Amino acid sequence: MLLAIETSCDETSVAIIDRGRVLSNVVSSQIRMHAEYGGVVPELATREHLKNLLPVARKALHEAGVTADQIEAVAATRGPGLPGALMIGLRAAQAFAFTTGKPFVGVHHHEAHLFSPWICGDPPVAEFGNFEPNVSLIVSGGHTMIVHVETEQKHRVLGATVDDAAGECFDKTGKLMGLPYPAGPEIDRLAGQGNPKAHEFPRPMMNDPNDDFSFSGLKTAVRYFIRDHPDSLNNQQRLWDLCASVQSAIVQVLVTKTVRAAKRVGVKCVTASGGVTCNRALRAELEGACRKAGLRLRLAEKSLCTDTAAMIGILAERKLTNGGASTSLDEEIAPGWALA
Ligand code: KG4
Ligand code: ZN
């Protein structure tokens, strides 16, 4: 029975994991508070984690029907993430391990994302029996990367964004359109009624031979477009078309590069996780492209796309049961920890 904590950004989450099963996964999102400022304010995030961690942990224990003294191991995100935010979860987990003498595992947030597409069902269970080598797209407000996952333990980053993350691009272009933060879900909704071919926005680096991404040029193109066509925002159909066109540019780059990388490295499976994986167009386009390329696709379930302690706990438990060493209680947070 393992208790996992995730506090790397703006979600306070605690999960209880038992032999690959997610007994509870409580997520307290701070998004509404940060929305007022148009983005995540690190100092506020830290304070909110501090305030919410114990209530979230109590709720997770209650929902799982277990008591704190039944917990046999504890895990927390060590990095990457916001320093103050990481510190709350990591230190709480280490303090728990110190006082109880139970093992502690410090987890890499991106490595955990690689595992979330394998957690399925209700209640969710990790399907490690079905694991196969894959190319994984991690795409959220803070990260955009393609990873070659050769085995459960062995992975290699093939490429990442050189500037903005894809979610950041949704949020920033949405802000230019006057949409509230985070704009990603709103663009998804509005784009549903728009024409993705209405405007031809750049597809940055789509045809470059590497697996890297760049989204800041797209953001600038949208800024100039709105400057030159101010009427594009004052009519509903035009706003829908703009949303659909921007979304289409982001999605096409993500899908093209992910599927191309999978074909090149020779895997038969593509996975995806991170907040942007909730995007309906991305899910549909990935499905179509993978079917065409003869690749199996595993998308993280929508409730497990975003940052949750479930993925942290599933990975930590797997590491412990595979004979992995626990993490020293002296280990510090690692805000800039890069996935190898
Ligand atoms: O995984 P996540 O919660 O973690 C952070 O990086 O904080 O991802 C949040 C990001 C935001 O940028 C948000 O706009 C984006 O994911 N997002 C979406 C959708 N849902 C969330 N972007 C496009 N379409 C969506 N449906
Ligand atoms: Zn994340």
Centroid of ligand 2 to alpha carbon of 302 (angstroms): 13
- CB contact burial 303-319 (16+ within 10 A = b; e otherwise): ebbbbbbbbbbbbbbbb
* Rounded CA separation 171/191 (Å): 14
Q: For 108, list phi and psi in degrees, rounded to 5.
A: -80, 125
Q: Whose CA is nearest to atom 6 of ligand 1?
A: 141
- What is the Cα–Cα distance from 112 to 89, expressed in whole angstroms? 15
Dihedral sign (CA 279, 284, 288, 291): positive
Give pLDDT, residue 289. 98
Regarding the beta carbon of 279 and ligand 1, being less than 6 Å apart is answered yes
| Per-residue confidence (pLDDT) for residue 105, from 0 to 100 | 98
- DSSP conformation letters of 99-152: HH---EEEEEHHHHHHHGGGEETTTTEE-GGG---EEEEEESSS-EEEEEE-SS
Q: Which residues pair with 126 in a beta bridge?
A: 119
In this structure, the residue with its CA closest to atom 24 of ligand 1 is 279
Give, in order, the Cα–Cα distances in Å from 285 to each of 247, 250, 252: 11, 11, 8
Per-residue pLDDT of the chain (340 residues; tens, 9 = 90+): 999 999 999 999 999 999 999 999 999 999 889 988 988 999 999 999 999 999 999 999 999 999 999 999 999 999 999 999 999 999 999 999 999 999 999 999 999 999 999 999 999 999 999 999 999 999 999 999 999 999 999 999 999 999 999 999 999 999 999 999 999 999 999 999 999 999 999 999 999 999 999 999 999 999 999 999 999 999 999 999 999 999 999 999 999 999 999 999 999 999 999 999 999 999 999 999 999 999 999 999 999 999 999 999 999 999 999 998 999 999 999 999 999 8
Ligand 1 atom closest to Cα of residue 174: 14
> Which ligand has the shortest distance to the CA of 110?
2
Contact 7, 79 (CB under 8 A): no
Mutate to test the pocket of ligand 1, among 30, 276, 283, 301 (most ligand atoms within 8 A of CB): 276
